[in-house]
Amino acid sequence: MAALRLGGRMLCIQPRHAGIITSMPNARIVVLDGYTLNPGDLSWDGLRALGEVVLYDRTPPEAIVERAAGAAIVLTNKTPLSAETLAQLPALRYIGVLATGYNIVDTAAARARGIPVTNVPTYGTASVAQFAFALLLELCHHVGAHSAAAPQDWPRSADWCYWRSPLVELAGKTLGIVGFGRIGRQTAKIGDAMGMRIIAHDAVRTNPPEYEGFAWAEVDDLFRQADVISLHCPLTPETKDLVNRERLARMKPSAFLINTARGPLIHERDLADALEAGTIAGAALDVLPVEPPVNGSPLLGARNCIVTPHIAWATGAARARLLDTVVDNIAAFQKGSPVNVVN
C-alpha cells in the first residue's frame, strides 16, 4: 500500500484499486435503500461514526444520481448501480452492498473506475437454514391451516383429533441439498439432527460432513433419490432454471421442493404444472423470479405450494449482524485495508 501526505493528512492508496483515497473520516455516506435492513428496530449510530450519513428508505431509478451525487460512499441493497450511473458519480470512492448478492452493481465498471465493491457474505446462515426447515415442516404438518380450521372444525369432529391433510415424518427420509456452502451445510446439520439422510451436490466437494450415510451426488441423481430437495446454490447462467420440467419429472411423487436461495433457479411455469399434475407432493418458496410479483406468478395459489415474501434472511439477529458487517467493511476501507471486496 502506498501513502501520500497532503495538507497534513495521510492519505492511503489501495493498490488493487489504483487512485482510491481510503482515508475519509468525514466522508459523505448515502444509503439508497435502507428500509429492509433497518425499518427502525436497529441503530445507524455505528455508520454515523464513520461519516456524514444520508438515509433513504427507497430510491427510484430516476433519483439515484441526484441522491448519490457528491457521496464518497454509497450503500445499496436492491437499488441498481449501472455503468451509466457510475459514470455520473465522479466523487464516488466505495460501494457497499447491504446483502450477499451483488448483481445489482456493475462490478466491472466499478473496478474500471477504481471503486471497490463489498458485500456481506455470512450474516444469514443460521436464519436462512432455520427458515428452510420452517417451510419444510409447514409442508409436513400444515400447522397454519390446522390452526385456522380448529375453531370451526374441531368442535364438530366425531373424534378427539382430526387432520385435514396427510402428516409426514422426516426421520429416515433423504434430504438432498443443492449448493453445499455455509447455508447448505447448516441446513444439512438440522436435517441430520432430525434423523434424515443427507446427500449434496456442489461444484466444490471438500470437507464432507461425518453424517451416517452422507454422499455427494450429481444433480440428476439427487433429484431422483431425495424425498426433500432444498436449494442453496447461487444464481449463475448455469443454474438458472435448474429446476425445470425434466428434473421435476425425475422427482418422487411424494417429494417436496424448498427454495430459500434465488427465484430464477426454478422455472415457474414448469413447477406450477408439476404441482397441479401431482408430479411432486409440494413446494415451499421464499423467493420468486420477480420480487415483488407485481404481474402475478403461476406459483401464487398453485396446488400445495407455500410462498413467503423473501423473509428467510430478515430476523433481527441476522439484520444486526449484516449492519455490523457493513460498518466493519467501511471502517476497513477507510483504514486502507478493504475486506469482502467482490471486484
Residue with cell 422427482: 251
Domain 125-307 belongs in CATH node 3.40.50.300: no
Model confidence at 3: pLDDT above 50: no
| pLDDT for the residue 101 | 87
- Tell me which CATH code domain 2-123+317-334 carries: 3.40.50.720
Which grid coordinates are listed for 304? Answer: 400445495
Residues 6+ apart with CB under 8 A from 285: 135, 258, 259, 263, 266, 299, 305, 306, 307, 308
Query: Do the two domains 2-123+317-334 and 125-307 of this chain adopt the same fold?
Result: yes
Is pLDDT at 174 greater than 50 in this prediction?
Answer: yes
| Contact indicator for 31, 54 with CB cutoff of 8 Å | yes
Q: Is it the case that residue 112 has pLDDT exceeding 90?
A: yes
Residues 6+ apart with CB under 8 A from 8: none
Question: Averaged over 5-28, what is the pLDDT?
Answer: 45
Task: Determine contact, residues 202/180, Cβ cutoff 8 Å.
Answer: yes
The answer to whether residue 22 scores a pLDDT higher than 50 is: no
Q: What integer is the mean pLDDT of 272-286? A: 98
Evaluate whether 152 touches 206 at the Cβ level (below 8 Å). no
Residues 6 or more apart whose Cβ sits within 8 Å of residue 335: 12, 22, 23
User: Are 313 and 124 in contact, with CB atoms under 8 Å apart?
Assistant: yes
**Cell reading at 25:** 473520516
Tens-place pLDDT, residues 53-107: 999 999 999 999 999 999 999 999 999 999 999 999 999 999 999 999 898 999 9
In this structure, how many other beta carbons lie within 10 angstroms of the beta carbon of residue 19?
10
Q: Which residue has the cell 400445495?
A: 304
pTM for this predicted structure: 0.87
Residue 252: name the closest of 173, 171, 312 by CA. 173
Confidence of residue 25 (pLDDT cuts 50, 70, 90): low
The position carrying cell 454515523 is 48
Tell me what the mean pLDDT of segment 121-144 comes to: 97
Q: Where are the domains of the chain?
A: 2-123+317-334, 125-307
C-alpha cell at 248: 421435476
Closest CA to 289 of 228, 226, 242: 242
Q: Which residues are known to be catalytic?
A: 262, 291, 310
Q: Residue 25, by phi and psi: left (phi above 0), alpha (psi -120 to 50) or beta?
A: alpha
**Statement: residue 195 has pLDDT above 90:** yes
